Structure 1
Amino acid sequence: MKKVMLGKIGKKGGVTLRAVLIGLAFMPINVYLVVQWETVWGTQYPTTMGIFFNAIFCLFLVTALNLPIKKFFPNSAISQGEVLTIYTILLMAITVSGHDFTQTIFCTLGTCRWFATPENEWNSLFARYLPQWLTVNDENVLRGFYEGESTFYTVQHIKGWLEPMLWWTLFLTVMVFTMLCINVIIRKQWIEREKLTYPLVQLPFEMTLNDSKKNFFSNKLLWLGFGVAAGIDIINGLNFLFPIFPKIPLIYNLGEHFVDKPFNTIGSFPIQINPYAIGLAFPIPLDLLFSCWFLFIVWKAESVIGSIAGVNLPEYPFPDQQILGSYLGIAAVALFMGKKSLWQVMNQTFSFPKRKSLNKKKRRGKMIKKAIGIGSDVDDSGEPMKYRTAVFGAILGTASLVIFASQAGMSILFPLAFFLIYFAIMFAFTRMRAELGPPLQGIHYSGPLQLIVATVGSRKISPQTLTVAAPYWTFTKELRNNPMPFVLEGFKLAERADIDTQKLWKVMMLSTLLGIFVTFWAFLQFNYKWGGVGAWRGVAAYTVIERWVTRPVEPDATFLIATGFGFIVVLINTVLRLRFLWWRLHPLGYPLAGYYHFDKLWFPFFISWAAKGIILKYGGIRAYRRTFPLFMGLILGEFIMGSVWGILGLLTGKPTYAFKNW
Structure 2
Amino acid sequence: MTQRSALQAESDSHAPHRSDAVTLRAVGIGLLLVLVVNFWISTTEYVIHASRMQLSFFPLALFATFLLLVIVNGFVRRLRPNSALQSSELLTILAMGFVGAVVPTSGITGFLLGILSGVYYFATPENQWANYLHPNMPGWAVPSNENHAMTWFYEGLPEGQQAPYQAWIAPLISWIFFLLALCTLLFCIAVILRKQWVRNERLVFPLASVGATLTRASRGGFLPDALRGGLFWGGFGVGFGAISWNILNYFWPVVPKIPLQGKWVVFAKGFPRVNTRINFLTAGFAYFANLNILFSIWVFFVLFFWFENGIINRIGYVIPRKPLNFSAETEVTAWQGFGALTVLVLWNLWTARTHIRAVFARAFGKGDADDAGELLSYRFAVFGLIGSLVFVCAFFSQLGMQGKLVALLVPALIVNYLSIARIVCETGLAYMRTTLTEQYAALYTIGTSALSPSSMSGVSLTYSLVCQGKGTFMSPFMHVVRLADLIRRNRRRLVPALALVVVVGLAADFALTIFLGYRTGAFNFNAWPFSSAGRFAYDLTVTQMRSPFDTSWERLAVFCVGAAAMSLLTFLHYRLPWWPFHPIAFPIAFSWNTQLTFFSIFVVWAIKAILLKVGGVNLYRKWQPAFLGLLTGYVLAITLSFLVDAVWFPGQGHGVHNY
What is the TM-score of this pair, normalised by structure 1?
A: 0.89
Q: Cα–Cα, structure 1 residues 499 and 594, in superposed 2: closer, same or farther, change >3 Å?
A: farther
| SS in structure 1 of the partner of residue 434 of structure 2 | coil
Q: Cα–Cα, structure 1 residues 477 and 636, in superposed 2: closer, same or farther, change >3 Å?
A: closer
CA distances 1:252-298 after superposition (whole Å, capped 9, x unpaired): 43624x4xxxx222232121222222111101111000011111111
Pick the aligned partner of 1:338 from 337, 342, 352: 352
- 2:612 is equivalent to residue 616 of structure 1: yes
CA distances 1:632-654 after superposition (whole Å, capped 9, x unpaired): 11111111221232244345523
Structure 1 window deviating more from structure 2 (246-255 vs 447-456): it is 246-255
Aligned mates of 2:113, 2:156 — CA distance in 1: 16
Aligned mates of 1:661, 1:637 — CA distance in 2: 16
- Corresponding residue for 1:465? 455
CA distances 1:418-474 after superposition (whole Å, capped 9, x unpaired): 122211221111211221111111125x21111111111001111111112222123
- Corresponding residue for 1:362? none
Q: Give aligned pairs, total.
A: 624
- Corresponding residue for 1:272? 277
- Corresponding residue for 1:440? 431
Q: Cα–Cα, structure 1 residues 218 and 110, in superposed 2: closer, same or farther, change >3 Å?
A: closer
Look up the equivalent residue of 1:506 and give its one-letter code. P
After the TM superposition, which residues 38-117 of structure 1 pair with which residues of structure 2 at under 5 Å, given as runs?
38=45, 44-117=51-124
- 2:341 is equivalent to residue 327 of structure 1: yes
CA distances 1:168-199 after superposition (whole Å, capped 9, x unpaired): 12211221121000011011111111111111
| SS in structure 2 of the partner of residue 212 of structure 1 | coil
Shift of 1:328: 0.9
- Corresponding residue for 1:364? none
Aligned mates of 1:416, 1:477 — CA distance in 2: 21
Contact 2:147 2:164 (8 Å CA) reproduced: no
Structure 1 window deviating more from structure 2 (89-98 vs 642-651): it is 642-651
Shift of 1:569: 1.7
- 2:288 is equivalent to residue 288 of structure 1: no
After the TM superposition, which residues 33-432 of structure 1 pair with which residues of structure 2 at under 5 Å, given as runs?
33-38=40-45, 44-137=51-144, 138-150=146-158, 154=162, 157-212=164-219, 215-240=225-250, 242-253=252-263, 255-256=265-266, 258=267, 263-298=268-303, 299-314=305-320, 318-350=332-364, 370=365, 377-432=368-423
After the TM superposition, which residues 527-546 of structure 1 pair with which residues of structure 2 at under 5 Å, given as runs?
527-531=517-521, 532=523, 533=525, 534-546=530-542
Aligned mates of 1:604, 1:499 — CA distance in 2: 40
Q: Cα–Cα, structure 1 residues 223 and 492, in superposed 2: closer, same or farther, change >3 Å?
A: same
Contact 1:147 1:528 (8 Å CA) reproduced: yes
Aligned mates of 2:393, 2:588 — CA distance in 1: 30
Q: Cα–Cα, structure 1 residues 254 and 427, in superposed 2: closer, same or farther, change >3 Å?
A: closer
Aligned mates of 2:415, 2:190 — CA distance in 1: 12
Shift of 1:148: 1.6
After the TM superposition, which residues 460-499 of structure 1 pair with which residues of structure 2 at under 5 Å, given as runs?
460-476=450-466, 478-480=468-470, 482-498=472-488
Contact 2:433 2:592 (8 Å CA) reproduced: no
Please list every run of 5 or more consecutive structure 2 residues that lacks an aligned counterpart in the other structure: 1-15, 323-329
Shift of 1:85: 1.3
CA distances 1:540-596 after superposition (whole Å, capped 9, x unpaired): 111111112111111112221222222222111110011111211111111212212
- 2:554 is equivalent to residue 525 of structure 1: no
CA distances 1:122-158 after superposition (whole Å, capped 9, x unpaired): 222222211111111114212211212559994x512
Aligned mates of 1:651, 1:320 — CA distance in 2: 42
Look up the equivalent residue of 1:275 and give its one-letter code. F
- Corresponding residue for 1:594? 590
Q: Cα–Cα, structure 1 residues 326 and 98, in superposed 2: closer, same or farther, change >3 Å?
A: farther
Aligned mates of 1:337, 1:564 — CA distance in 2: 21
Q: Cα–Cα, structure 1 residues 391 and 241, in superposed 2: closer, same or farther, change >3 Å?
A: farther
Look up the equivalent residue of 1:613 and give its one-letter code. A
Shift of 1:376: 5.1
Q: Cα–Cα, structure 1 residues 344 and 636, in superposed 2: closer, same or farther, change >3 Å?
A: same
Aligned mates of 1:341, 1:180 — CA distance in 2: 17
Q: Cα–Cα, structure 1 residues 471 and 41, in superposed 2: closer, same or farther, change >3 Å?
A: farther
Look up the equivalent residue of 2:455 and give its one-letter code. T
CA distances 1:217-248 after superposition (whole Å, capped 9, x unpaired): 22221111111110111112332454232200
When the two chains are superposed, the root-mean-square deviation of aligned CA atoms in Å is 2.3
Pick the aligned partner of 1:22 from 18, 29, 38: 29
- 2:546 is equivalent to residue 555 of structure 1: no
Aligned mates of 2:290, 2:91 — CA distance in 1: 25
| SS in structure 1 of the partner of residue 548 of structure 2 | coil
Look up the equivalent residue of 1:80 and give its one-letter code. S
Shift of 1:348: 1.1
Contact 2:421 2:471 (8 Å CA) reproduced: no
Q: Cα–Cα, structure 1 residues 654 and 120, in superposed 2: closer, same or farther, change >3 Å?
A: closer
CA distances 1:299-353 after superposition (whole Å, capped 9, x unpaired): 1111222244443555667111222111111101100111110110111123xxx
Q: Cα–Cα, structure 1 residues 134 and 648, in superposed 2: closer, same or farther, change >3 Å?
A: farther
Aligned mates of 2:17, 2:467 — CA distance in 1: 39
What is the TM-score of this pair, normalised by structure 2?
A: 0.90
Aligned mates of 1:152, 1:476 — CA distance in 2: 37
Q: Percent identity?
A: 25
Aligned mates of 1:221, 1:98 — CA distance in 2: 36
Aligned mates of 1:207, 1:335 — CA distance in 2: 32
Aligned mates of 2:355, 2:596 — CA distance in 1: 38
Contact 1:47 1:481 (8 Å CA) reproduced: no
Contact 1:180 1:487 (8 Å CA) reproduced: yes
Aligned mates of 2:50, 2:534 — CA distance in 1: 20
Q: Cα–Cα, structure 1 residues 11 and 395, in superposed 2: closer, same or farther, change >3 Å?
A: farther
Look up the equivalent residue of 2:37 and give its one-letter code. N
- Corresponding residue for 1:660? 657
| SS in structure 2 of the partner of residue 135 of structure 1 | coil
Look up the equivalent residue of 1:234 and give its one-letter code. S
